[in-house]
Amino acid sequence: MKFISILMGSKSDYEIMKHCVDTFEKFNVKYELIISSAHRSPQRTRNYVKEAEEKGAIVFIAAAGMAAHLAGTITAVTTKPVIGVPMKGGAMDGMDAMLSTVQMPAGMPVGTVALGKNGAINAAYLSMQILAISDAELAIKLKEDRIVQSKKVENDSKDIEVIL
């Protein structure tokens, strides 16, 4: 069974990562969701990643704030794609998490998306695009979703547009 794994550094991240979950549910994509910390439960994190790979995890999404080492910890133990979602908060309001997530050493990539809600949603979309490489049905759903998004922009414009 192929699925996407979501790890969060703490329970407080769920309010934002719920948007990622909602996106997967909208597309009927299987996922797992756990809380595991790079610093407070490093062995749990490593063990979970290995177990998830054995069960069929294709992509890992890591949401963490402040030092935001969760994505790097996951990348250190898997060759599967890892997408980091930096979380707002702390003294730098998420900029520290953004920099920690994006600044990985060569050979240890973490795809990094935006802070907060948009990042959570984009992590879901990016992981589904990876999954859709080998899932034609999901690829079609994603293309249909793009058409819906495009039509929404056109309809929103019609409500207010002024064209001479």
Provide Rg for the chain, Cα atoms: 17
3-state secondary structure (DSSP) of residue 104 = coil
40 is in an annotated binding site: yes
3-state secondary structure (DSSP) of residue 105 = coil
Q: Residue 94 contacts by C-beta under 8 Å, 6 or more apart in sequence? A: 65, 86, 87, 88, 115, 116
96 is in an annotated binding site: no
Residue 56's region, left for phi above 0, alpha for psi from -120 to 50, else beta, is left
5 is in an annotated binding site: no
Ranges of beta strands (E only) in the chain are 3-8, 31-35, 57-65, 82-87, 111-112
Binding residues for substrate: 10, 13, 40
Binding residues: 10, 13, 40
